[in-house]
Structure 1
Amino acid sequence: MKRIALGVQYDGAPWNGYQKQLDRHTVQDQLEIALARFARVDVATTCAGRTDTGVHALEQVVHFDTELTRDTQSWVRGVNTFLPDSIAVRWASEVAQAPAHDPHLEFHARFSARARTYHYVLYNHPVRSPLLAGKAGWTFRPLDVERMRAGAAHLIGQHDFTAFRSSQCQAKSPVKDMQSIRIERSGDAIVFTLRANAFLHHMVRNLVGSLIYVGNGRQRPEWIGELLRARDRHEAAPTFMPDGLYLAKIDYDPKWGLPQEAGSLLPWFSL
């Protein structure tokens, strides 16, 4: 039995999120259908992190086990033959199976991940752009990037992020380690880049929504720290739209030798 890791990129707008559902209209459903058609046997996949309806991925990482022997480019080209235009396997890599005496030496797309990085792309202009529908969030009030950076500074480190957690979140603990947040502006585009060991359900969209309140002057930068301490979801801003959210990169130990892409570039919003 071999374990194969895949790097998968997708436009989330046409799909009901990543995780498979009964209607089979999800990224995971489409990926497993394509894998089954290529391998001619059912294949079950495990992902690094589920994404919601409308959320995109520059590089989602999944793994599956198979008895088939194929070179890595065959997995890429063969599976892509059966995928819709909005989903593509970008790379494939065979990863080590665990020895019987130590299962921790086995690669796992989710549990081997050290950190996750998300981008949120925001179009800040008085009038919405139809060309960016589904690809970027939008807010018409002018935003002060320095105020948002000051607010984001309160989020760095290990905190209880209950105030930014969906009521549907199934994570065992709301405590996460926010390692970095960058907020960069280029013309009318603002890109938030958040890196943490893990994220709660809707956490990035809830954080962005609250930082927008700071950026447009509705709240003070210190309010972000007050939200963390209050641990009350009702005190924070509403969940912001999914359109501009991109799962950008999953960090793993270099020992796995994954041929990962940079994960930091949005070519249409390069900063």
Structure 2
Amino acid sequence: MTLFYHFDEKIPLTGRLAMGVEYDGTRYCGFQRLNHAASVQASLEGALSKVANEPIQVSASGRTDSGVHATRQIVHFDPPVGRSEKAWIFGANTHLPRDVAVRWVKPVGDDFHSRLCALGRRYRYVLLNQISRPVLERANVTWCRDPLDADAMHRAAQALVGEHDFSSFRAAGCQSKTPWRHMHFVDVKRYGQLVMIDIQGNAFLHHMIRNIAGALVSVGRGAQDEAYIGELLALKNRRKGDVTAPACGLHFVDSVYDERFDLPKEPLGPHLLSFTGEWTGERELPDTPRVAYRRKRSLRHPTAPPEQEASS
């Protein structure tokens, strides 16, 4: 996918559609529809339903916490009517609020499922590390005025890579039946005043990344040593964990699928980091039984009951 191309406005798209969605989560309870608060899903379904003139429901690659942003949330839906690529994108964006936008739409086979076919989810937690509080960036970074040692944070974070019981980093109200998750990689890098925690795994527990970020900041400040993260992991006890970092610094930047689905490739977000020169920032997936299972499962129509996974 290039940054600029012409949307087709003549050929009606039929069958299942995948869609890339970007949003500023500041005023939402998260992606998933809730009865008591505003959600991204409700806004998106309302806009798509106006384009189709019929009700539409979407399924997403993962849920996000209240206040968390996304630059590449993947959804799929089965449209009741045919509309062109331009009609779906421009029509939806016309009816969406300014803090939500559709980036692309693509026909996919009936065997594609945005959640069940996902091989991994990737998030980036962005810290603005400077003495003065942020102004223009205040809604999408977490401000830290104490000097952070990003290299020490990176070394400490390597204890999280692999398959572990992440009980020390899950919220008390987490509904997942298992605390076990597989982290593909965790990198911490500094780009000028920005410190970025880049993390990808098969799925995430409720508040898991924000709890990891809070603990890594303690290492970066020098309040804890580099063995701290591994020690917390071994405790398997959230009550002995660190603080939960604010939601505003967290960005859902990618869902990873088997190459056969051929979803559009995009610059990896958030856009504050576009100057790093990355295009998609893709990594090789680990050769694990879970990834192999998901790849095989994606070859069949995913009608079996979903795994007990939750994506924060």
Fold in common (TM above 0.5): yes
The answer to whether the 8 Å contact 1:76/1:90 transfers is: yes
Taking structure 2 as the reference length, what is the TM-score of the superposition?
Answer: 0.81
Say if 1:11 and 1:87, in contact at 8 Å, map to a contact too: yes
Provide the secondary structure at the position in 2 that maps to 1:243: helix
CA contact (8 A) 2:52 2:80 kept: no
Distance 2:62 2:149 in 1: 31
Q: Tell whether 2:90 aligns with 1:77.
A: yes
Does structure 2 retain, via aligned residues, the 8 Å contact 1:117–1:196?
A: yes
Task: Determine whether 1:168 maps to 2:181.
Answer: no
- Matched with 1:195 is 200
Look up the SS of the partner of 1:131 in the other structure. coil
Residue pair 1:24, 1:30 contacting (<8 A) in 2 also: no
Q: Counterpart of 1:254?
A: 259
Matches within 5 A, 1:172-187: 172-187=177-192
Cα RMSD of the aligned pairs, angstroms, is 1.4
Matched pairs, number: 262
Whether the 8 Å contact between 1:124 and 1:188 is mirrored in structure 2 is yes
AA aligned to 1:238 is V
Secondary structure of 1:14 counterpart: coil
Amino acid of the structure 1 residue aligned with 2:270? L
Q: Show the counterpart of 2:4.
A: none
**What secondary structure sits across from 2:63 in the alignment?**
coil
Q: Post-superposition shift, 1:152?
A: 0.4
Aligned to 1:146: 151
Task: Check whether the contact 1:7–1:260 (CA below 8 A) recurs between aligned residues.
Answer: no
Q: Which segments of 5 or more consecutive residues in structure 1 lack a partner in the other structure?
A: 98-105
**Could you tell me whether the CA contact under 8 Å between 1:156 and 1:181 is conserved in 2?**
yes
Q: Does structure 1 residue 267 correspond to structure 2 residue 271?
A: yes
**Structure 1 residue 24: deviation in Å?**
5.6
Q: Deviations over 1:186-239 (max 9, x none)?
A: 221111110111111111110010001111111111111111111001111111
Report the identity percentage: 39
Structure (1/2) with the larger strand percentage: 1
Once residues 34 and 261 of structure 1 are traced to their aligned partners in structure 2, the CA distance between those partners, rounded to angstroms, is 23
- Give the Cα–Cα distance (whole angstroms) in 2 for the partners of residues 81 and 194 of structure 1: 33
> What is the CA–CA distance in structure 2 between the aligned matches of 1:61 and 1:83, rounded to whole Å?
17
1:1-271 aligned at under 5 Å gives the runs 2-23=15-36, 25-97=38-110, 106-262=111-267, 264-269=268-273, 270-271=275-276
Shift of 1:23: 4.4
CA distance in 2 between counterparts of 1:249 and 1:236 reads 27
One-letter amino acid of the counterpart of residue 64, structure 1: F
